[in-house]
Structure 1
Amino acid sequence: MQLEGKVAIVTGGSQGIGEAVAKRYAQEGAKVAIFNRNAAKAANVVKDITAAGGTAAAFACDISSVSAIDNAVGAARDRFGDIDILVNNAGAYLMTPIGETEEAAVDQMLDVNIKGVFFLCQAVLPDFDRKGGGVIINISSIFGNTGFPGSAIYCATKGAVTLLTKTLALELRDRNIRVNSIAPGWFETPLNAGYRATDEEFMRRADERFGGKGAWMKPEELAGSAVFLASADASSIMGATLFVDRGWAAY
């Protein structure tokens, strides 16, 4: 098991990509702290993990709040010990065409996608320093590298995550802290379920660039990449973005 004895925080771990990563980390031997705004939903994932013989616990955390982040990290530390791995997966995606964008939507995406990611990275630094190193994996997006109509603010926040990853990788490498990101393509998750079900133009654009209908991925297809970047096999990878996108970035 590649993560035996490690303690990992996975944000947004109650569904979709976060759930898949949390379950795979537990299979690889990690103790998983699942951070989620709705702790009850996260608890369902914990039940699945423990039933399969893994170790996990759910912690309520609104990552748009710095005090909530600090409290949740402290609670996870009390439960499992110092943190080894942080996966910043939680995100907010609201399609907001220019001319129709409201301030509340901008604030939500900035707070969750940038502010929360940064302060979670900051919150685990004492743990990493005590343990002599650590791993941060930021879940960015293909939209952090290319644009998509109707998603200007979301694309901007994910582009910021990409540059945050590069900068922190340089700033923290002398402390044996590796920072990388994963840029998912189109995965079938609850975050985009509404658009998939009702927005024909959204689907047309996605399918066109993906190479045809039916090319959407399942969250489990990303989990192995998150294991690799957290493992010793990735010991010299720093500041990189790993695209898991069925070729979207190469289009």
Structure 2
Amino acid sequence: MKQVATLAGLDSNGSAGLAADLHAFFADGVYGHGILTAAVAENATRITAAQTMPVDFVEAELTALRDFPIAAVKTGMMANGEIVKAVVDRCPGGVPLVVDPVIITKQGDHLLDQAALTVFCQQLLPKATVITPNFLEAQVLVDHQLSTPEDLLTAAYQIQQIGAANVVIKGKHPTGDQEPVISSLVLLADGQSFWINNEFVKAKKANGAGDTFSAIIAAELAKGQPVLTAIEQANDFVVAAIKKPLGIGQHFGPLNHWAGQSWRQCDD
């Protein structure tokens, strides 16, 4: 069995971050190792407390990981520049690296300060096999507003020029009278670009969708799939997981990884 590592924060309700990654790895048939970078106390409506792991503890986790034949790595929330540096220095090399740049929330709250973002862009991003920013994170990475499809393609090329080999910019949720479709842009290392269009499902039980998307990409790369196939598989997995919500949490809740797993089993 292939082994994959995630370096991420942990939501105590299990809906996002490291917990979602491990759910995704299990559902996609790989063994997951978890390197904890931060933790949050969270119920179905809000975060009530947060704690960043000491950098020496993160370094110890990464050192312990060397005992295992890791086939791919996925990064999520890094929390600060010191942890980013530790990951750059000690993360397993020579294997695919999927970077989910957890730098800004959908509500616009920044999760990395400017100094940490600089380290992230200069040292971690150039190692990325695939990077999966959401719309707001892409704007932060290129430092300008994105308004049109052409803007997104230009931004993807800019992110590629920073060093990431393959770029997926996840689309915005439609608002108002917009067509109920989410369009994500993919730019591959060979210059091929295309859009992935999905029906927008208005769901409260979709926490961890971005984490799961990047985790499935990492799992598929670990199993030897080409980047394009890994991205397509991850997209289909998340779509299946959103369409059959779980009744967990009074308000917001997690994806249904079982639905994603069932889709994968049928596909195989």
Identify the TM-score tier after normalising by the shorter chain: 0.3 to 0.5
Instruction: State TM-score, norm by structure 1.
Output: 0.44
Question: Which has the larger helix fraction?
Answer: 1
Instruction: State TM-score, norm by structure 2.
Output: 0.42
Question: Which has the larger strand fraction?
Answer: 2
